[in-house]
Amino acid sequence: CSIKIDWIPLFSLLFLLLLPLPSWLYSLHNCTIDSTDSRTINCNDHKLSRIPSDIPKTAVILNVSHNNINFIQQSYFSGLTELQILDLSNNQISHIEDASFSHLSSLTVLSLIGNKLMELTDHMFTGLSNLTVLNLTENQITFVSEFVFVPLTKLLQLRLRDNRLSSISDIVKVVSFCPLLKFLDLSNNPLSSIESDDSLLLPCSNLTELHLLGNDLKDLAPSSLQMLTRLSMLNLGANSLTELFVQKTSILNLDDCFGKTLPNLLVLDAADNNIEELQRGVFSNMTCLKDLELQTKSVTEMLVYQETFVGLTDLRTLSMSPIFIFDPPSAGVGPRSSSRGRSQLQQVFNLPLLQTLRITVSKDVCVDLTKDLFKGLDDLKVLSWRGCFWNADSKMFHHLPRVFNMEIRRYYVWIPVPELFQPLTVLQTLDLSENHLKSMDFLSEANLTQLQTLIIKTNDMSVINERVFEALPSLRYLDLSDNPFVCNCSNADFIDWVIRNRQVYVNGAYQYRCASLPSEQGALLLEFDYRWCWESVGFFCFICSSALVLLTLLLSFLHHFLRLHLLYGFYLLRAFLYHRQQRGRGCAEIYDAFVSYNVHDEEWVYRELLPELEGRQGWKLCLHHRDFEPGKAIMENIVDAIYSSRKTLCVISHQYLLSEWCSREIQMARCCSHTVSLVIGEVHLTHKRIKMWSRTYLSWSGARGHRGLFWERVRHALQSGAQLPDDPLPTDD
Ligand SMILES: *[C@@H]1O[C@H](CO)[C@@H](O)[C@H](O)[C@H]1NC(C)=O
Ligand SMILES: *[C@@H]1O[C@H](CO)[C@@H](O)[C@H](O)[C@H]1NC(C)=O
Ligand SMILES: *[C@@H]1O[C@H](CO)[C@@H](O)[C@H](O)[C@H]1NC(C)=O
Ligand SMILES: *[C@@H]1O[C@H](CO)[C@@H](O)[C@H](O)[C@H]1NC(C)=O
Ligand SMILES: *[C@@H]1O[C@H](CO)[C@@H](O)[C@H](O)[C@H]1NC(C)=O
Ligand SMILES: *[C@@H]1O[C@H](CO)[C@@H](O)[C@H](O)[C@H]1NC(C)=O
Ligand SMILES: *[C@@H]1O[C@H](CO)[C@@H](O)[C@H](O)[C@H]1NC(C)=O
Ligand SMILES: *[C@@H]1O[C@H](CO)[C@@H](O)[C@H](O)[C@H]1NC(C)=O
């Protein structure tokens, strides 16, 4: 096999090698030059213990983060006059030599995040006259010397988050040399108080954002912030505040309220404090405030007044803990009066522009809800409730026609009524996680036609009725993670729906697990073979339809071949029923006897039988040729004749036994009436049929010499109700 040489790349390589290259390309040992911008030098992650000496003088961005540098020397940055961004984060720097940055007159951003600085000394930042951002987050700074920030006349942002500063007045003195400072982050320091000194924060009057999150502030008078007239963001979260402002005189003196001192505040974050009470008018005149965060887990209830939220005319977002209303709102009663009247939650929010309301209830509390709680929130779009509640009124959401995003986590067993959700006609997202819901059937009547996202994570649903989704025509996203599904045929339709439907994305469906039986533990819901659930149903249908077909075949067979027998059976049955009925009624018989005979024996009947029985003995007989009603079905005539006669006389001959009709007559008569059999002519009396039909009979041929006796016995038989005794006459065989 031959080696093919691709000449074009080879030529390009040669061409490149012959080009004159900038000398610095070869001089960088531990750093790389950014491929898109040759003035960006990356020395990060090289285990460097010093700043490399071969950094090009043209560098604008220098990244020396994530190395092992612990000491900054004066010589390191000499000549880097064009450097604008210097990243020294995540090193071990504990000491910076005086005037180390003095050559970096163009530097605007200096990051010293995650180092081991313990103090900021004078001359440390000498020469950084163009610096706008100084990031000292995550150091161990306890001491800041007075003139350290003097050179930083253009500083806009100072981040001192996660340090060990304890005195805010020291910081303020230092910061006073940065007249343009807008952003000051002092979060997560052990600052314990802000002195109520009017002039304290005067040097910071250009500040727009002040972060004091996670300090140890116990009280904060708005007056101490009154110099911060441009403040738009105040973060006081996770401190130890018990009240939002200290009220020293009358409750109606509103001078000391946030509205007066911080009129431009847009965001006030006082979450995770210990605020138990929000006084009347505390927010009055805060006409700009858009976002107010007051939720906390450390207090069980927050006392508010009807007038607490007055003045927040532009508020869009409010996060709170459960609130209790102080009633009555009379002027004479101070908030600290011993008889704290407190009523159920009722209308307290008069915030017509509020868009988002989040309520967080602390773990060991349960709150009573009334239907008017959300009154006055006409424009609310997002509602989040986390925590226990009692007595949720089914009309509670009637005041929230515009809510399109709702989250309710009760954490305890909850059985919502469908009516609760019916007013939410524009709801698009519903999160009902952590409610111990056993079923989501209530959603099928909840009228949520706009719902697109449904999250019911971490509940107790084992069987999902997939027909619920028919009531949610707009649904696109569903999350049912962390429910104890059973993997049996009860979920077959749901599994099939999850796999087949193309409209709804079911998040994590392939990770849903079975939780019903210990043997199923760990099995995946969608791996359950649900088809046999339907196969057994199919098999059942197969059996049913086969049985039906067979029955039809059988019936048509019977109809075709045994029609007469069936008809006869039918009459027999009818006769039997008729007989019982007649006997029950005790109907009068018209005839003494019905004479059943074959046409061949008609002559004998007319010559011998009629003259004797009708003429001499005077019986009234029914003969089918003479007495049958014309036009009636013959079978019906027979039945009627038998039943309107006391007895049936069967004239049995050879022909009679051959005739079908006659044999039926005799059978019917036997079944229903007393039968007297007269045997004439040559008949084999062992004949099976006659044996069967009539055990006793009178023989004409056998009584040839004793006609008088024969007729006497017939009269006797017709008279008596009893059957004939066994034939005493001799037989043919
Ligand atoms: C490059 O880094 C190594 C350690 O990884 C060090 O010994 C060497 O002196 C460095 N070179 C320069 C020019 O800083
Ligand atoms: C420096 O590099 C780190 C990655 O090691 C990166 O996270 C950081 O953003 C970079 N800094 C600058 C200023 O680009
Ligand atoms: C600050 O930077 C600008 C250019 O960005 C430069 O003209 C000016 O001289 C710098 N200031 C100082 C004191 O070096
Ligand atoms: C300063 O550091 C913090 C914490 O690492 C970071 O969130 C922030 O973005 C940094 N700011 C600048 C301007 O580098
Ligand atoms: C606030 O900033 C302006 C320039 O925007 C400046 O003139 C003024 O002195 C600053 N105020 C203070 C108290 O430093
Ligand atoms: C401040 O609010 C009070 C009542 O809450 C009102 O009388 C006063 O006019 C408001 N002041 C301003 C500047 O809005
Ligand atoms: C459901 O909403 C529609 C309008 O969106 C309304 O006409 C219908 O009456 C509602 N049904 C119920 C049961 O509330
Ligand atoms: C499925 O399991 C549940 C719970 O174990 C049971 O209530 C239900 O009857 C079962 N369904 C079927 C079809 O076996």
160-169 tens-digit pLDDT: 999 999 988 8
Mean pLDDT of 288-303: 85
Q: Are residues 539 and 656 in the same domain?
A: no
Instruction: Give the C-alpha separation, 603 to 163, whole Å.
Output: 139
- Better pLDDT: 292 or 516: 292
User: Would you state the structure tokens that stand for residue 179, as one six-digit string?
Assistant: 């007249």
Q: Are residues 635 and 674 in the same domain?
A: yes
Asked whether residue 112 is assigned to any structural domain, the reply reads yes
Mean pLDDT of 398-414: 93
Asked whether residue 115 is assigned to any structural domain, the reply reads yes
- The set of long-range contacts for 41-47, using a CB threshold of 8 Å and a minimum separation of 24, is 43/67, 44/87
> Which of 29, 54, 66, 68 has the most ligand 1 atoms within 8 A of CB, as the residue to mutate?
29
Question: In which residue are the tokens 């009129």 written?
Answer: 263
Mention every residue, 6+ apart, whose C-beta is less than 8 A from residue 631: none
Extended beta strands in 177-220, E state: 183-185, 209-211
Q: Parallel, antiparallel, or unpaired: how do β-strands 133-135 and 143-144 relate?
A: unpaired
Instruction: Give the C-alpha separation, 361 to 386, whole Å.
Output: 6
Asked whether residue 443 is assigned to any structural domain, the reply reads no
- pLDDT, residue 479, reads 97
CA 377 to chain centre: 27
- pLDDT, residue 145, reads 92
Instruction: Give the C-alpha separation, 162 to 141, whole Å.
Output: 9
Mention every residue, 6+ apart, whose C-beta is less than 8 A from residue 335: 251, 277, 279, 303, 305, 326
Q: Are residues 553 and 670 in the same domain?
A: no
What is the CB neighbour count within 10 angstroms for residue 622?
Answer: 23
What pLDDT, in 10s, does the model give residues 324-382? Answer: 665 443 333 333 333 333 444 456 788 889 999 999 887 777 877 777 888 888 899 99
Is residue 103 within 8 A of residue 80, CB to CB? The reply is yes
Which protein residues touch ligand 4 with a CB less than 6 Å away? 111, 113, 133, 135, 137, 159
Domain count, the chain: 3
Extended beta strands in 608-695, E state: 621-623, 645-652, 674-679
Q: Which atom belonging to ligand 4 lies closest to the Cα atom of 135? A: 1
Q: Are residues 64 and 158 in the same domain?
A: yes
Asked whether residue 582 is assigned to any structural domain, the reply reads no
Q: Are residues 539 and 613 in the same domain?
A: no
Q: Are residues 80 and 37 in the same domain?
A: yes
For residue 104, the domain's CATH number is 3.80.10.10
Closest C-alpha residue for ligand 2 atom 5: 44
146, 172, 191 — which closes off a domain? 191
Instruction: Give the C-alpha separation, 616 to 276, whole Å.
Output: 126
Asked whether residue 339 is assigned to any structural domain, the reply reads no
For residue 623, the domain's CATH number is 3.40.50.10140
The whole-chain average pLDDT of the chain stands at 82
Asked whether residue 335 is assigned to any structural domain, the reply reads no
The angle formed by the CA atoms of residues 603, 607 and 610, to the nearest 5 degrees, is 110
Smallest-distance ligand from the CA of 131:
3
- pLDDT, residue 533, reads 85
Asked whether residue 665 is assigned to any structural domain, the reply reads yes
Is residue 88 within 8 A of residue 106, CB to CB? The reply is no
- Better pLDDT: 369 or 2: 369
Is residue 505 within 8 A of residue 478, CB to CB? The reply is yes
Q: Are residues 63 and 162 in the same domain?
A: yes
Q: Which atom belonging to ligand 1 lies closest to the Cα atom of 29? A: 13
561, 577, 602 — which closes off a domain? 561
Is residue 285 within 8 A of residue 302, CB to CB? The reply is no
Q: Are residues 594 and 675 in the same domain?
A: yes
Please give the distance, rounded to the nearest whole angstrom, from the Cα atom of residue 234 to the centre of ligand 6: 21
**Ordered DSSP codes for 291-351:** EEE---SS-S-EEE-TTTTTT-TT--EEEE--EEEES---SSS-TT-SS--EE-S-S----
Q: Which domain holds residue 552?
A: 532-561
Instruction: Give the C-alpha separation, 123 to 393, whole Å.
Output: 66
Asked whether residue 579 is assigned to any structural domain, the reply reads no
The segment with the largest mean pLDDT, out of 269-283, 323-337, 566-580, 667-681, is: 269-283
Point out which residues pair with 302 in neighbouring strands.
323
What pLDDT, in 10s, does the model give residues 22-59? Answer: 444 445 778 999 889 999 999 999 999 999 988 999 99
Q: Are residues 557 and 593 in the same domain?
A: no
- Residue 594 is which amino acid? F
What pLDDT, in 10s, does the model give residues 170-229? Answer: 888 888 889 999 999 999 999 987 766 656 677 788 999 999 999 998 877 777 777 888
Q: Are residues 554 and 650 in the same domain?
A: no
Confidence of residue 86 (pLDDT cuts 50, 70, 90): very high
677 lines ligand 2 (CB under 6 A): no
Q: Are residues 593 and 557 in the same domain?
A: no
507, 541, 561 — which closes off a domain? 561
Q: Are residues 53 and 180 in the same domain?
A: yes
Closest C-alpha residue for ligand 4 atom 8: 135
The angle formed by the CA atoms of residues 300, 304 and 310, to the nearest 5 degrees, is 145
User: Would you state the structure tokens that stand for residue 512, as one six-digit string?
Assistant: 């849903």
Point out which residues pair with 679 in neighbouring strands.
652, 699
Please give the distance, rounded to the nearest whole angstrom, from the Cα atom of residue 396 to the centre of ligand 6: 33
